[in-house]
Amino acid sequence: MRMVKEYEPGIDSFFQIMVKITMYLLYILTGLCLLLSFIKSRRKSAQALKIAWKKFSRLVPAFSLMLVLVGIALTLIPDRLILEYLGGRGIWTAAGIAALFGSITMIPGFIAFPLSGILHAKGVAYMVLSAFTTTLMMVGVATLPVEQAYTGMRVALVRNLISLVLALIVALVTGLYFGELW
């Protein structure tokens, strides 16, 4: 069983085209919704845009810093080491390591998804990336004490366990879809 598939020119370009089409459709939909909002209430729409701009302005420095730190880390960590842990030990072991890492770390989604793109370009399988990103978003070992304070330890543990199982199912389906399990 190979972890990294051979390059198939038609597949990557098809997915890239579909992503671009989806992106442009979302831009158009967002623009239309904003236009409708301005037609309904110009004042409220302008106020909402000001609030959104302020929140975005506060997010940019943290986003930039995280991108720089991830870039430095990926530069310092050799590709062979990344592939050894996330690609060279068998897809199930790699997915397990990725799920464990995703469960215990706190990385915002806007960093995790570009990071997954970089890791895929380095040869990490989609199933492994799926295990990493879904556990990162759904399982919260680092946030367990806060969650436990609000919901109780039993509810927090059950929710995290169910989330872990669902994340692994998503990773399995991803691996099946992309043909990485056969």
What is the per-residue DSSP string for 57-93? HHHHHHHHHHHHHHHHHHHHS-HHHHHHHHTSS-HHH
pTM above 0.75, yes or no: no
CA 171 – CA 126 distance, rounded (Å): 8
Is residue 145 a contact partner of residue 181, using CB atoms and an 8 Å limit? no
Name residues of the chain where pLDDT drops below 50: 1-7
Q: For residue 11, what pLDDT is reported?
A: 55
Q: For residue 1, what pLDDT is reported?
A: 43
Q: For residue 4, what pLDDT is reported?
A: 46
CA 36 – CA 42 distance, rounded (Å): 10
Is residue 102 a contact partner of residue 140, using CB atoms and an 8 Å limit? no
